[in-house]
Structure 1
Amino acid sequence: MIQVLKGKRVLITRSAGQASEMIARVQDYGGEAVTVPLMSYRFVPVPRDERTRWLDHVSRADLIILTSGNSVDFFMRTLDTPARIRGKRLAAVGRKTARKLADAGLKNVYVPEKYTGKALGKALLTGTLHAERIVFPHGSLTDPSWIHDLKSHGFNVTERTLYETVPDLSQKERLAEIMRSGEMDALTFASPSAVRFFTEMLNEETWKKALTASVVGAIGPSTAQSLDALGFAADVIPKYFTSVDLIDALANFYNKRKKSST
């Protein structure tokens, strides 16, 4: 692999358990990955008096939508037995989410061409994907707009928040120190919440200076929109919205820059 990131320091803001592939990819390109997890996740258990109803909705659903690896993990924790969803039709946003389902023995999975919830909603609205009773377990910061569209068109959707995404405040001082050093060449964000927590954990002068001075990578359009709302455009957005593709796109950005300067 061409060492196009040699001498580059790349900030990885994903949670510790999700950063390994990005770190390895940066290193494959010869760069140095600096990991500062900006968020952590807390399980929201289904209350005992609602558990029977929740499991009944799962049993009767003809489609279960899972938009991330986290949603897969936390959803599986709510089940009394994996057999409850064996043979069910599933829909996943992204191949990594689908792979996690496959690892759990669940392979009847629809994945939209674009790795977004809106693309999944469009597939249902246009009839590309058929379902009448839908179960959608998700996190506290999930964008609900496309689900609202489905409901307004008559789809029966049962939602439940199964985990909370919260800032990892134990990293606040370390993040500030790294950003004040001015030594980061690139910043990567894998979700709108990562952008949000980045700005919340730093003072305005520091985060604005960091976003101005560094190459900024966003994993997909919703993350890029979060940056746009702050007045900063993402320099890098991958074609496929995965963490490894984000690093590949970053490497391609630097490779093109190098060629244009020679």
Structure 2
Amino acid sequence: MLPLSGKHILVTREATKAHTITRLIEQQGGISIEIPLLHFQGIYSEENEKVMNQLSSYDWVFFTSTNGIHFFFELMEHYHHKTFEHAVKMKFAVIGEKTEKVLHDFGYKAHFIPDTYTGEYLGKEFNEYTSESCSILVVQGNLAKQSVVQELSNRNHTISTAEMYETNVNVRMKEALKKSLHETSLDIITFTSPSTVDAFVELAEEEWTEELTSIPCMCIGPSTQAEARKKGFTYTIIPEYYTVEGMIEATSAYFNKKG
């Protein structure tokens, strides 16, 4: 029997990325229930147009999510085609292997990846990687944690941040989420960002009960786990590797151990 056979697993990830985690769940025999709680859109502003026109002034661009990469290149194309010339000359730092792959798909190389895939370690390990003072652009969403900026600030870097996309609660999924919580006996909930935790609690409304908080949560990393605990979930788990593959491996291990 496969480790996730018959297990009902709630996938809260954004719609265009949910299929990846669903495929992994189904390969292990699980039943994926996709309720995408977030959606994203680019921020087209004078500030971001200015950033794009000044790309040549940065030594490094930092990405802490795949969304940041998508919207960076989307806005780059929207505002000024010639900025692609500057992008070829810049160096890119990414938070992990998934962001590295997406950057590669756009035709660019990641010049720095931390050993531990968190914003804190992205900044901390970068400071250990270089002794130079760099001009750095950190691409963010409107709800981004500032851990990478805080770590980079411990050195004499020139740091700029740019909010290039916004994260919105997918209110259209409210009834679907409530129905799933009411009618399905969930075995585990997956959260891939602190924002998915916040959206879950907001949309659950009257379904947010003590019984619900006792459902195990598989969180992609420490910041997501911290948010789940803050909201009241009593049993949270994080994988050894902070990726969706790591999440499903840890989920399988959890149920194998549980028996």
Same topology, TM > 0.5: yes
Alpha-carbon distance between aligned partners in 1 of 2:104 and 2:235, rounded to the nearest angstrom: 32
2:158 counterpart residue number: 156
CA displacement at 1:21 relative to structure 2 = 1.0
Q: 2:203 aligns with which of 201, 213, 217?
A: 201
Distance of 1:50 and 1:74 partners within structure 2: 11
Q: C-alpha separation between the residues in 1 aligned to 2:114 and 2:129?
A: 13
Relative to structure 1, the CA distance from residue 149 to residue 93 in structure 2 (aligned partners, 3 Å threshold; closer, same or farther) is closer
Q: Distance in 2 between matches of 1:189 and 1:129?
A: 36
Gaps of 5+ in 2: none
Give 3-state SS (helix, strand or coil) of 1:64's partner: strand
Code of the residue aligned with 1:228 in structure 2: it is R
Give the root-mean-square deviation of aligned CA atoms: 1.9
Q: Percent identity?
A: 28
* SS of residue paired to 1:163: strand
Instruction: Tell me the distance in 2 between the aligned counterparts of 1:95 and 1:187.
Output: 23
Per the alignment, residue 45 of structure 1 pairs with: 44
Preserved CA contact (<8 Å) 1:64 1:136: yes
So what's the TM-score if we normalise by structure 1?
0.90
The separation in 2 between residues aligned to 1:115 and 1:176, in whole angstroms, is 33
Match of residue 121 from structure 2: 119
Q: TM-score, normalised by structure 2?
A: 0.91
How far apart, in 2, do the equivalents of 1:87 and 1:153 lie?
23
Higher mean alpha-carbon deviation, 57-66 vs 183-192, is at: 57-66
CA distance in 2: counterparts of 1:4 and 1:126, whole angstroms: 40
Question: CA 1:96 to 1:130, structure 2 compared with 1: closer, same or farther past 3 Å?
Answer: farther
Matches within 5 A, 1:10-29: 10-29=9-28
- State the aligned residue count: 254
1:199, 1:175 → 2: CA distance?
10
User: Displacement, 1:35?
Assistant: 0.2
Q: Go from structure 1 to structure 2 and tell me whether the alpha carbon gap of 1:152 and 1:119 turns closer, same or farther (over 3 Å shift).
A: closer
What is the rounded CA distance, in whole Å, between the counterparts of 2:44 and 2:159 in structure 1?
20
C-alpha distance after superposition, 1:101-154 (max 9, x if no partner):
111111143110111110011023334575510011110110014313433643
Cα distance in 2 between the residues matched to 1:22 and 1:92: 21
Trace 1:1-262 onto structure 2 (pairs within 5 A): 3-47=2-46, 51=49, 53-79=50-76, 80-81=80-81, 82-128=84-130, 130=132, 132-151=134-153, 153-203=155-205, 206-212=208-214, 214-258=215-259
Distance (whole Å) between structure 1 residues aligned to residue 184 and residue 108 of structure 2? 45
Residue aligned with 1:158, SS: strand
Please state how far the C-alpha of 1:56 moved relative to its aligned partner: 4.3
**Counterpart-to-counterpart distance in 2, 1:7 and 1:108:** 40
Shift of 1:15: 0.8
